[in-house]
Amino acid sequence: MKATIDWSRSRRDGVGEVLVCVINLDRSPERWDAVSAQLKETALPFVRLTAFEGNSLPQPLADLVDHEHFEKANGREATPGDLGCYFSHVAAWTLLAERPERFLLVVEDDAVFEPGWTETLQHALQAYRPGMLMKLSWQRKGLTRFMRNVDATHALVRPLTHQACNAAYLIDRDAARDLMASAFPLHVPVDHYVESPWITGVRVRSIVPALARQRGVPSTITKPEKFHWSQRWPTLLYRLKAHTLRLWLSYFRAT
């Protein structure tokens, strides 16, 4: 799988070791306008990745979805939004193989960055370790374990619970390679996948407070009603296993 880049709206050249990749659907130009305006205020190079439409996936990609496993793990059917988002993030991970930058900052098009975020990001790079996924955004902080201060107001932590939200996260070539190696068959939404170190082998860390948040616009990932509670016991078992493994790997075995 290879990313489709809209070079006419990208800025190839920039300053620093970080390439920003914005995932954006062709039918959401207003989202691109909002996020690109923020990036133009920085010196970072950025590209627009044309996101996949989940309801019109080519058959080779559709064959990579394990619908039965997805339904057991999530207690609902996979939506076109789930699929398009997942494949778009996987496509983004391929970019580092073609670029000179050391890091890739994957950004969803509804991200809003906090004032001064690039300065904090530069400090955060000093705390980055090879093969790490560093979350700049999260939906819920949950339980965390302090690792180190990034600057006077931000810290790097280990999330001990699922934080959700993939509005902005940083990876290097090692992390991108490991994420791609175990990405298929698709069986969970992408925010669950990237926070599953027992599957990916990728250590997850977060910046607190977050450097980005979701803009609050309607999501392009509409979720159907969950199955009746009597049909969701496999989901409960899967979630219990996931929470246990995340806690074990992030607290007891993390280095």
Fold adopted by 7-252: Spore Coat Polysaccharide Biosynthesis Protein SpsA; Chain A (3.90.550)
Q: Which residue has the tokens 């496993």?
A: 69
- The average pLDDT across 70-80 equals 93
Q: Are 193 and 211 in contact (CB under 8 A)?
A: no
123, two tokens: 């400090």
Those residues with Cβ within 8 angstroms of residue 242's Cβ, 6 or more apart along the chain or in another chain? 162, 192, 196
**pTM here?**
0.91
- The average pLDDT across 105-126 equals 97
219 pLDDT band (50/70/90 cuts)? low
**Residue 211 pLDDT:** 97
91 pLDDT band (50/70/90 cuts)? very high
Residue boundaries of the structural domains of the chain: 7-252
Q: Please, what is the average pLDDT of the chain?
A: 92
Q: Are 149 and 155 in contact (CB under 8 A)?
A: yes
Q: Is 116 helix (H, G, I), strand (E, B) or coil?
A: coil
- The span from the CA of 162 to the CA of 73, in Å, is 15
- The span from the CA of 169 to the CA of 89, in Å, is 11
252 pLDDT band (50/70/90 cuts)? low
Largest CA distance in the chain: 54
Q: Which stretch of DSSP H or E encloses residue 198?
A: helix 197-200
- The span from the CA of 114 to the CA of 60, in Å, is 39
In the beta sheet, which residues pair with residue 145?
158
**Residue 238 pLDDT:** 84
Q: Is 232's pLDDT higher than 90?
A: no
Residue 109's identity, in one-letter code, is: D
